Amino acid sequence: MAWQRKIPFGYSIQNGEIIRQTEEEKAVQDIFSRYLLGASYSQIAAEMERQGIRYHQHTPRWNKHMVKRILENPKYLGGDVCPRLISDADFLAVQLRRGDQTTYAPCPKQLAPVRGRAVCAICGSPMTRDTRRQGRPRWHCQNPECGHSLYIADEELLARVRKKLRLLALAVEEIRETAPPTPSLDSIRIQNELNLCFNRADANHEYVKALILGAATERYNEMPDPGPCQRLRDLVRQVRENPEDEETLWAFCEAAASHIRMGQGGIELAPMPVLKIQHREELAV
Ligand SMILES: [Zn+2]
């Protein structure tokens, strides 16, 4: 739709940069204040119309969805692209009030594969989910210096990840055989110890035998297991053949996605290094 806003309400674009739009900035702050004073979405929408503020240029009309979208938009906290319009305290207070109106959402079991893989798109640290503060799922970067957070409903998050998984299955061009392993630290230590013994005239034979056995065991443990490769191949085929099968999809997630990067720009799957991927860019956003 040509009249859809391309940048969030409250901002305009100047020389390719997003800047505050004075009138809309005031309106955003007014909307947050009114909501915190107890107004409903619809009451605020009516007030915006009364003040003659326009959300869309082609119409003076407002509706509650516009108000809701404004109240939940974390872009107003400022960031790389958009300047800050709302203080952390006010934004949080609004989310708390919104949370009162939605039911507490415990972490659904289906989210487990996402939780184990969620990392911050900005700094790469793990993201954790909580709903304590406003009953609304928030994913929060564990790195205190980053503090990136993202509000996303569980269902929407799952839907997006499912979509990405299907795209990933289609994009797999090749599954590389597991690369030759690098020796473990233990293996290196045992080998060093053995070398020392071989250079020693009085080495204890029993000890040397134990070391040789230990070294052999380590080597054996390091041998690549051909199983996962075949399993991954099967899963890719199954997802392609039956993309709606939830169970297969999440098994594929376990096997094929090393990380799920979460950012304001979207959700991105990072494929396991053994996967050779075509059209990588489709996996972003
Ligand atoms: Zn981060």
**Per-residue pLDDT tens for 80-131?**
789 999 998 888 888 877 765 544 455 667 788 898 899 999 999 999 888 7
Q: Is the pLDDT of residue 133 over 90?
A: no
263 in helix, strand or coil? strand
* Ligand 1 center from residue 145 Cα (angstroms): 8
Distance, CA 217 to ligand 1 centroid (Å)? 40
- pLDDT of residue 39 exceeding 60, the answer is yes
Residue 121 C-alpha to ligand 1 middle, in angstroms? 7
The gap from C-alpha 284 to its chain's centroid, in whole angstroms, comes to: 11
Q: What is the mean pLDDT of the chain?
A: 85
Angle between helices 185-198 and 205-222 (to 10 degrees): 150
Q: Which residues contact 124 (CB under 8 A, 6 or more apart)?
A: 261
Q: Are 173 and 276 in contact (CB under 8 A)?
A: yes
Q: Would the pTM of this model clear 0.75, i.e. be above it?
A: no
Q: Report which of 82, 126, 151 is spatially closest to residue 258, judged by C-alpha positions.
A: 126
Ligand 1 centre distance from Cα of residue 262 (Å):
9
Whole-number Å distance, alpha carbon 75 to ligand 1 midpoint, is 16
